[in-house]
Amino acid sequence: MSDTLLGKVAIVTGGSRGIGEGIAREEIQTGIAKIAATHGRLDILVNNAGVGGIGPIEDITAEEYRRMVDVNFDGVFHATQEAVRHLTSGGRIITIGSINADRIHFGGGTVYAMTKAGVAGFTRALARELGPRGITVNTIQPGPVDTEMNPRTGPFADFTKPHIAVDRYGTADEVGSLVVYLAGHDAAYITGAALNVDGGFAA
């Protein structure tokens, strides 16, 4: 944790697994409101929840579609909407998106890519809306990162690795270091950005 963040009140959604998974619409709004009330403020929201899903578009079930949209997009919207009620000047909203919003090297990722592209557009629009209030809004777009959902070994990794310029998967810590920077005061002039942490996956 950077010294510049000491004393800040931050909420990180979906922080219990990998880069993040598992957000419930009603629970996150209530949780954010309770934390802000308890601490008398909110400084940082990190939208970190996310789920994946791969399959031919004709085989994606309504349940699979709804789950990805609910977590990857609706969850971001509802958490952000509640956080904005409590953030003041100097506040930070950081969303973990995906490089697949811009570049995807495999078939079957249509819904996942759609949700992450939606997050990037939402970020740009919200940055315009909240800029006058001194609140920054950014998206981090990781490439292949070694998590339980996307391990650095296995058949999918064997296919993916040749597309990574640095010839390795990233780590959650490498993504986290950018989150810390964007949450600090040195990043006050960065907003509306989609910042790639992808080892050159999209190069």
Residue 112 falls in the annotated catalytic set: yes
Tell me the C-alpha to C-alpha distance, in Å, between residue 61 and each of 37, 66, 75, 82, 111.
40, 9, 20, 30, 11
Q: What is the DSSP string of 45-76?
A: EEE---------GGG--HHHHHHHHIIIIIHH
Burial annotation 22-35 (CB, 10 A radius, 16+ → b, else e):
ebeeeebbebbeeb
Residue 147 CB partners (closer than 8 Å, separation 6+): 17, 18, 19, 172
Catalytic option among 112, 169, 181, 189: 112
Residue 106 CB partners (closer than 8 Å, separation 6+): 54, 159, 160
Active site residues: 112
